[in-house]
Every structure is written in structure tokens, then in C-alpha cells.
Structure 1
Amino acid sequence: MAMGRPREFDIDEALDRALHVFWRKGYEGASMTDLTESMGITRPSLYAAFGNKEVLFRKALDRYVNGPGGYVRIALAQPTARGVVEQLLYGAADAVTDPCNPPGCLSVQGALTCGDASESIKQELMARRNAGENDLRERFARAIAEGDLDAKSDAGALARYVSIVLQGMAVQACGGATRDDLRKIAGIVMSTWPPANAPAES
């Protein structure tokens, strides 16, 4: 049986390049020519390796989550709700203004530029953001149960609040906001963060 011709490009490197194209131009704005030229491959090679543009974008999203967006996973593992939010906000401020990457957040920018023709991608991005907000809600609910947050705190509202701030920071970064600008916003949020339950008197 004849062996298939081996790939003549590095999959991980090509995916990193595709990630940056999608990040800069959004899903719809990234043409197949943009992608193949940046990845250094032909269209047949792209289809053979990734299937199609939509599959490539989903793989790029996964790579973003495990790469530039990895601060989210680190934040959720912090031992206190305050630590979670602090890591999220300052991590986001650094990530969305990293000079090594395009400004903003891939998942936020991708959704903003999706039209009717890319409804499945828009829904995918919305589902991922909703899942992230739900992870926060569950983490804050745990903090309430453990006494780390006041029992009257609303876990859902806090999760929505933090999510909105994070999305706003990403949009502002695309508009030219600097790392210092966004870190100041993070500081304001932390200055108003609800206190933990006071320890019970013995």
C-alpha cells in the first residue's frame, strides 16, 4: 500500500499563525488567502490538515484558551474569591495588551465581527463565554458556602459583573487602552469587591 505524503509543515506553528490572523481580523474578516499566506501552506493542505475554516477557527480558539487565555484557568484555582477576581482582572489586563499578540481577546472580537453567515461560530463563542461565566458563578457560590464571601452575596450577579468588566477591557484594548489603563480599572474593581464573612466569635 502506498504511503501518504507526509506533511511539509509544522501543525502547531501553522495553527499559531492562524490564531493570530483570526485574532486580528475576526472570523469573517480572515479570508482563506489571509490564512494560507500566513500559515505558509496551500488551500489543499489546509483542508487536509484542518477540514475547513470553521474547524480551523475552533482549533485556534482551543489553542487560545490554553495559551494566551491560560490566566483564566490559573485564576479559577485561586483559594479565595478575591484571589480569583484579582488574577482574572490583572491577568486580562496583561494578556489583552501583550505586545507579542494582537490587542483584545479572540473570543470577544470574533463574536463582535460575526454576521448571519457565521451564526454557528457566533453561537460557539457565546456558548464559551457563557460557560466561563457559569464557572465563575459556581466558584463564587462555593465561596459563599465556605464563608469566603458574605452569605447575602449574589453569585450570579457577581459572575456577570466580572464577565462584563473582562469583555469591556478586551474591547478597550482594541481601541488603544494600555496595560496601565486596564490595570487601573482592575484596581478600582478590587477596591469595591465585597468583603469576606467576618469570622464567627468563639
Structure 2
Amino acid sequence: MEIKSRGRPRSYDPEQVLERALHAFWKGGFSGTSLDTLALATGLNRPSLYAGLGDKRTIYIKAMHYFQKYAQTEFGKALERKDTDRSFADVILRYLRTALEVDGYHEDIDLSGCAVISTAMADALADNEIQAVLKEVLTEMNEQLYQRLSLAKQNLELPHNTDIDALAFLMTSAAHSIGIRARAGLDLQQIEILLLSVSKILCPT
């Protein structure tokens, strides 16, 4: 996903409309975003919006999956092995820096934090469908990381006695924490300085 500024679409592009709907939900959450808000954000009237993407809940779920696809792509790139990697700590550092890019502050749209966690937490307990989306996104993130850690252990990038379940949990927890801190408006430059130390703690060499 390319983070774009908010101007009205020149023509109907389903992906662009979905991205603009994502921005609206990202800012206001599910409950706080009305169909009128979505119509204004996408440049479509309510009947066209409903015909193109569905009702509000359907649009929200599609938007969260859209964000997750973007995040998975970026995290996948970060987890790829590079010839310049000195140890697996470099992979962890790259992963956490990607979390800072994905969930940090996006100046063009004035938004920050993980779009899914930032918006779904408030409604997950009262809405089973939103809870399912949140669970699915977290599960997919864990699985992507677990597969890479399993391969790293197999290829001796990690010690044979590495608890990859625990390492995956710590890495995803750190990534989620970056998003939460970004949403809270904390200084991300200070967090970035800490990432090198965090990567070495998670994967001592």
C-alpha cells in the first residue's frame, strides 16, 4: 500500500476508494466513522459507496484486510535474508524498523499506529466480526514471523535451542508496542535509537 494524501478521486478506482476508507477508519475507529464520513473521504455518495463496497462493517473489514496485506508485504521484505546480514540480529532490527515505518507516523495523512489494532480494540469485545478480524490479523502476523524463525533455526541462523515461539512473541509484541507508542504521540526517534539494543537483546551474538 502506498500512503497517499487525501484529495478526491478523479474517477472510481476500487483500490483507491478502499484506501481512503481505510484512512477514515484509521482516524475515527469503526464506531466513530459514519457513512457520511466515508462518503466524504472517498468522494462517493452513500448509494455508490454501498453498491461498490458494501455496508459500513463490510467496508471496515475490507479496509483492515487491505492494511494487513500492505503490512505483510513490508514485513515480508524485512524478513528476507540479505547478504549484508552479520547475524540474525540484523533481521530482527530490520523487522522492528519496518514496524516503525508501517505503524509510525505518516505525515501525508496525519495518522499513526497500526490501523487494525488502533481501531479494532475498542469494538472487539462487543462485535464478534471485528474481534475475528483482529484475531485473524494477529494470527497471520505471528505465522509469517514463525515461518521465518523456523527457517532461520533450520539454516543455523539461530542457535538450535532457540525458543522460536517465545522469540516470535517478543518480536511481535515489540512491533505492536511501537504502533501503540506512535499512536500516543511519543518520540519515535528515541524509539528508533533503542531498536538496535532491542535486536541484540532478542538475538545476542
- Give the TM bin, normalised by the shorter chain: 0.7 to 0.9
Q: What is aligned with 2:97?
A: 90
Distance in 2 of aligned mates of 1:68 and 1:129: 11
Question: Cα offset for 1:103?
Answer: 0.9
Which deviates more from structure 2 when the two are superposed, residues 34-43 or residues 74-83? 74-83
Residue 151 of structure 1, CA deviation: 1.0
TM-score (norm 2): 0.82
How many residues are aligned here?
190
What CA distance in whole angstroms lies between the structure 2 residues aligned with 1:136 and 1:68?
12
3-state SS, counterpart of residue 100 of structure 1: coil
Deviation at 1:121, TM superposition (A): 1.3
Superposition TM-score, scaled by structure 1 size: 0.83
Give runs of ≥4 in structure 1 deviating > 4 Å. none
Matched, 1:52 2:52: no
The partner residue of 2:146 within 122, 134, 137 is 137
Larger radius of gyration: 1
User: What corresponds to 1:114 in structure 2?
Assistant: 123
Aligned to 1:189: 198
Q: Does 1:36 align with 2:39?
A: yes
Structure 1 residues without counterparts, runs of 5 or longer:
1-7, 197-202
Task: Give the counterpart of 2:107 among 95, 99, 111.
Answer: 99
CA distance in 2, matches of 1:189, 1:151: 21
Equivalent residue for 1:24?
27
What residue identity is the alignment partner of 1:100? D
Residue deviations 1:4-49 (CA, integer Å, cap 9, x gap): xxxx633233222111011112222222121111112121111100
Work out the CA distance in 2 between the residues paired with 1:156 and 1:117: 30
- CA shift at 1:186, angstroms? 1.5
Question: Using the alignment, how far apart are the partners of 1:145 and 1:60 within structure 2?
Answer: 36
In structure 2, stretches of 5+ residues that fail to align are 1-10
Following superposition, the deviation at residue 131 of structure 1 comes to 1.8
Secondary structure of the structure 2 residue equivalent to 1:28:
coil
Letter in 1 for 2:27: R
Residues 143 and 46 of structure 1, relative CA distance in 2, 3 Å threshold: same
1:188 Cα deviation (Å)?
Answer: 2.2
RMSD: 2.2
SS in 2 for 1:127: helix
Specify the alignment match of 1:3 in structure 2: none
The whole-number CA distance in structure 1 between the counterparts of 2:152 and 2:68 is 24
